[in-house]
Amino acid sequence: MTTWQQRADVVVVGTGVAGLAAALAAHRRGSRVVVLSKASRAEGATATFYAQGGIAVVVPSTDDTVEAHVADTVAAGGGLCDVAAVTSIVADGHSAVADLVGAGARFDESAPGRWSLTREGGHSRRRIVHAGGDATGAEVQRALDHAASTLDVRLDHVALQVIRDAGAVTGVLVRNRDGLGVIHAPSVVLATGGLGHLYSATTNPEGSTGDGIALALWAGLPVGDVEFIQFHPTMLYGGPGGGRRALITEALRGEGAVLVDARGVSVTAGVHPMGDLAPRDVVAAAVDARLSQTGDPCVYLDARGVPDLARRFPTVTAACLAVGVDPTVAPIPVVPGAHYSCGGVVTDVHGRTALPGLFAAGEVARTGMHGANRLASNSLLEGLVVGRRAGSAAAGHAADAAAPRAVVDPVARVAVDRPALQRATSRHASVVRDAEGLSCVAELLGTAQPLNLDSRNDFEDAALTVTASVVIAAARARLESRGCHHRADFPDVDPARAVSVDVRLDADGTPVVDLPERVCC
Ligand code: SIN
């Protein structure tokens, strides 16, 4: 049972770009804010910290326009972007980045006062601002950590359950070193990041275990577009083995690096007019197809022609050297790797969910920005813009709500063995899927056993299990190939299925897919 109780106006779960942007915005509006992180140390705990490429933003003094950025985002999104949401978020980008600069972030410049802009896959313009060459996320995290240093940020606090009454959020059930406790609060912002550790190897930090998706599902909310898991085409290949692997940023291709197979043959020639700078789903599928054809364990990113490689890309250079590859003299071995969840908890562009008092922002949320495939470097942008808005909305909700008294009834969850789940999803639910493989994962999930959430690890196992169950349900229901979702048994886009699919849990915890009538069965 619970051993401690506290009160707050706004509880933010997560300390990456969206979480801290939300916390700072709520604090500015006068809320008592508590920020929770399950990590024991702040450094390297968030996906934000590892982001390399940058932030896609329309810089007013250039030839770029909001309309062009929206068009590129929508083109990458495979017919499922919500154009109004994309427009709203893109249009707010420059002001959000300017706020970040106000908080102390420093971006690379091509001349004093002029940001150096690079290009990534799917972008028709140079519009990616970056920092420290390829250490953009680390700089964003540093600036936000500094700005949030006066806030109440708590490490080693695992949010186990969003507590609600019939109509609204009333608090959060939390496990920390003192045991189980409750923070009574009218507003909770989920900013827990992604779910990369659903797979054996991923570019995500170790805490990316679908936590926010699980918390929202258990609170009775739907998630959307969760079948669209983006595989980054160029995760460093360092031999077999799992866990977090280094990203080899797409910005290298923006600066001239080329993808080739072991024979030196281009991987993307003839696949898409943008070649190696095609949207990410196209390039990842091309790499996957080449690996299947050749039986090779990896392809190569030849970055030897990139000017000033080691200075411009110090993070990539260090990661390559750590596995014995000098990228200035040898091509970099790469494979597609689980990188980003395009879907998540269904929200509007202010992070509001269908449950009053519950907000979600960043990778955990599905605003309609990414559709079936996120455009490169739109994630930090969305996290900043929607995080800031969600924090304001959460503060506004808290100001209007009566002080809640959360009554908690902790529930046992179910889980399957994590390595077995990761092997099954990696084999059957990654870049290419089919009905038979997805059934194998569903069968494994059907063997889940009850589990008390006595540790962070238990919570993560349960979160991964329920997250996998909705991903697999959505992937089984989408009988076509679109964006990041490639079905070997349904290889074409079905225009009748250009619609987002939500999944929720029924009273038994079984995923239920809300299929519109016209695409049902
Ligand atoms: C990259 O630098 O290639 C990743 C950026 C992103 O995921 O948007």
Using one digit for the tens of pLDDT, what is the confidence trace for 297-327? 999 999 999 999 999 999 999 999 999 999 9
Q: How far apart are the first and last CA of the chain?
A: 45
- Cα separation, 290 vs 433, in Å, equals 16
Residue range 411-520 forms a domain whose CATH class is mainly alpha
Which pLDDT score is estimated for 408?
87
Closest ligand 1 atom to residue 376 Cα is 8
> In sequence order, what are the residues at sequence separation of 6 or more whose Cβ sits closer than 8 angstroms to the Cβ of residue 332?
234, 236, 248, 300, 301, 302, 303, 316, 320, 325
Q: Which of 73, 250, 252 for a ligand 1 pocket mutation test, highest count of atoms within 8 Å of Cβ?
A: 250
Any atom of ligand 1 within 6 Å of the Cβ of 333: no
CA pseudo-torsion sign 366, 370, 373, 377: negative
∠ Cα 518 520 521 (to 5°)? 135
Q: Tell me if 472 CB under 6 Å of ligand 1.
A: no
How do the domains of the chain map onto residue ranges?
4-193+340-400, 233-336, 411-520
The one catalytic residue in 119, 253, 280, 487 is 280
Q: What's the token pair of residue 356?
A: 């009053």
pLDDT (tens digit per residue) in 97-129: 999 999 999 999 999 999 999 998 899 999 999
Give the span between the Cα atoms of 442 and 196, in whole angstroms: 18
Calculate mean pLDDT across residues 142-170.
Answer: 96
For domain 4-193+340-400, the CATH superfamily is FAD/NAD(P)-binding domain (3.50.50.60)
Ligand 1 center–CA 475 separation, angstroms: 24
| pLDDT number for residue 189 | 98
Q: Which residues contact 484 (CB under 8 A, 6 or more apart)?
A: 228, 229, 230, 231, 280, 281, 284, 342, 372, 373
Percent with pLDDT over 70 in the chain: 99
d(CA 243, CA 251): 23
Hunting for tokens 């790499």 — which residue is that? 287
- CB of 379 sitting under 6 A from ligand 1: yes
Mean local confidence (pLDDT), 147-171: 96
Single out the residue of 433, 344, 410, 403 nearest to residue 18, CA to CA: 344
Rounded-to-integer distance, Cα 428 and Cα 480, Å: 16
Ligand 1 proximity of 209 Cβ (cutoff 6 Å): no
Lowest mean pLDDT among 126-130, 156-160, 239-243, 504-508: 239-243
Predicted pLDDT of residue 110:
94
Atom nearest to 248 CA in ligand 1: 3
The CB of 53 under 6 Å from ligand 1? The reply is yes
Of ligand 1's listed atoms, the one at least distance from the Cα of 120 is 3
Angle, vertex CA 94, rays to CA 88 and CA 95, nearest 5: 85
- DSSP label of 479: -
Q: 251 CB under 6 A from ligand 1?
A: yes
46 ligand 1 Cβ < 6 A: no
Q: Identical fold at 4-193+340-400 and 411-520?
A: no
Distance 329 CA to ligand 1 centre (A): 24
Cα dihedral 288, 291, 297, 299 in deg (nearest 10):
-80
Q: Report the distance separating Cα 407 and Cα 402, nearest Å.
A: 15
pLDDT, residue 241, reads 72
Residue 239 confidence (pLDDT) above 80: no
- pLDDT score for 240: 66
What is the distance between the alpha carbons of residues 145 and 140, in angstroms, rounded to a whole number? 8
pTM of the model: 0.96
Residue of minimum CA distance from atom 8 in ligand 1: 377
Q: Is 280 annotated in the active site?
A: yes
Give the ligand 1 atom nearest the CA of 374.
8
Task: Report how far ligand 1's centroid is from the alpha carbon of 365 (Å).
Answer: 18
Alpha carbons 482 and 492: distance in angstroms, whole number = 8
Report the C-alpha gap between 150 and 60 in whole angstroms: 33
Instruction: State the pLDDT at residue 237.
Output: 95
Stated as kind and residue range, the H or E segment containing 73 is helix 66-76
Which residues 6+ apart lie within 8 Å of 81 measured at CB?
73, 74, 368, 369, 370, 371
Contact 52, 457 (CB under 8 A): no
Q: Are strands 114-115 and 358-360 parallel, antiparallel or unpaired?
A: unpaired
Mean pLDDT of 192-201: 97
pLDDT of residue 96: 95
Which residue has tokens 């920005």? 369
If we measure between CA atoms, which residue out of 138, 159, 175, 149 comes closest to residue 48? Answer: 138
Q: What is the pLDDT of residue 517?
A: 66
Q: Please say whether the structural domain 233-336 has been given the CATH code 3.90.700.10.
A: yes
Distance separating alpha carbons of residues 248 and 315, to the nearest angstrom: 9
pLDDT of 35 higher than 70: yes
Mutate to test the pocket of ligand 1, among 379, 382, 484 (most ligand atoms within 8 A of CB): 379
CA of 375 to the centre of ligand 1 (A): 9
The residues pairing with 60 across neighbouring beta strands, listed in sequence order, are: none
Q: Is 131 in the pocket of ligand 1 (CB under 6 A)?
A: no
Residue pair 128/53 in contact by the 8 Å Cβ criterion: yes
